[in-house]
């Protein structure tokens, strides 16, 4: 039986960076509150995942915690514990060897699909919290589709910045001595 390699703890720089990225995620969402479901959150989740891989969960859950602290740990907040994981997982699965144009298209598609699926991803929590049967849950999803379409369009528009943001995060991290694993196209 072989021993698994030990995970090293986060450095002070990494901790500060991931906390700052979580704050930026929250600030970006808060700044765009007047626009329904339009915010840069998906963009940041995809870009941080492409650069930091599994460690992108640190800024993601820093955002979730900040959101709960500032907006309240109410029932609407509970799905935030899982709703961003499919987006993170999809970004983890993006091929690392594609070129920047293909990466831009893939990031836009992943973000838009997550925005479109947001209501369906949120629905299990609604059903459990409010005792909805499957018909009521489907009705709840259907009623939210216009909002999900706007969410998808906003995420698609924001995701057009995924390639430059990924490159910026990779370059800044390397200069600061923060370990990162960006795809080849982001190392330019």
- pLDDT(89) > 80: yes
| pLDDT interval class at 7 (50, 70, 90) | confident
pLDDT digits (tens, 9 = 90+) for 131-161: 999 999 999 999 999 999 999 999 999 999 9
| pLDDT score, position 37 | 86
Cβ proximity of 112 and 158 under 8 Å: no
- pLDDT(97) > 80: yes
| pLDDT score, position 186 | 87
Residue 158 resides in a domain: yes
Distance in Å from the first CA to the final CA of the chain: 40
Q: Taking the complete model, does pTM exceed 0.75, yes or no?
A: yes
Mean pLDDT of all residues in 16-27:
97
- pLDDT(188) > 70: no
- Residue 114's CATH number: 1.10.1760
How many domains in the chain? 1
Please give the Cα distance from 182 to 120 (Å, whole number).
Answer: 31
- pLDDT(177) > 80: yes
Residue 31 resides in a domain: yes
How far from the centroid of its chain's Cα atoms is residue 120's Cα? 17
Domain of residue 46 covers 12-187
| pLDDT score, position 6 | 63
| pLDDT score, position 36 | 85
- pLDDT(3) > 90: no
pLDDT digits (tens, 9 = 90+) for 27-60: 999 999 999 889 999 999 999 999 999 999 999 9
Mean pLDDT of all residues in 76-98:
96
Please give the Cα distance from 59 to 14 (Å, whole number).
Answer: 10
- Residue % of the chain over a pLDDT of 70: 96
Residue 6 resides in a domain: no
Helix (H, G, I), strand (E, B) or coil at 5: coil
| pLDDT interval class at 4 (50, 70, 90) | low
Residue 7 resides in a domain: no
String of DSSP letters for 118-159: HHHHHHHHHHHHHT--HHHHHHHHHHHHHHHHHHHHHHHHHH
- pLDDT(1) > 60: no
């Amino acid at each position: 039986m072989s021993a698994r390699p030990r995970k090293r703890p986060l450095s002070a720089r990494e901790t500060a960076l991931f906390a700052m990225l979580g704050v930026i995620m929250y600030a970006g969402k808060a700044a765009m509150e007047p626009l329904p479901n339009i915010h840069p959150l998906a963009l940041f989740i995809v870009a941080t995942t492409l650069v930091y891989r599994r460690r992108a969960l640190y800024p993601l859950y820093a955002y979730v915690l900040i959101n709960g602290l500032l907006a309240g740990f109410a029932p609407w907040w509970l799905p935030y514990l899982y709703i961003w994981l499919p987006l993170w997982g999809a970004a983890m699965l993006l091929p690392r060897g594609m070129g920047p144009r293909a990466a831009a298209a893939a990031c836009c598609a992943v973000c838009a699909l997550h925005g479109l699926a947001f209501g369906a991803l949120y629905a299990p929590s609604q059903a459990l919290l409010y005792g909805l049967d499957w018909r009521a849950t489907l009705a709840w999803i259907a009623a939210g589709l216009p909002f999900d379409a706007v969410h998808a369009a906003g995420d698609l528009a924001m995701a057009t910045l995924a390639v430059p943001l990924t490159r910026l995060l990779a370059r800044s991290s390397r200069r600061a001595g923060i370990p990162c694993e960006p795809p080849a196209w982001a190392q330019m």
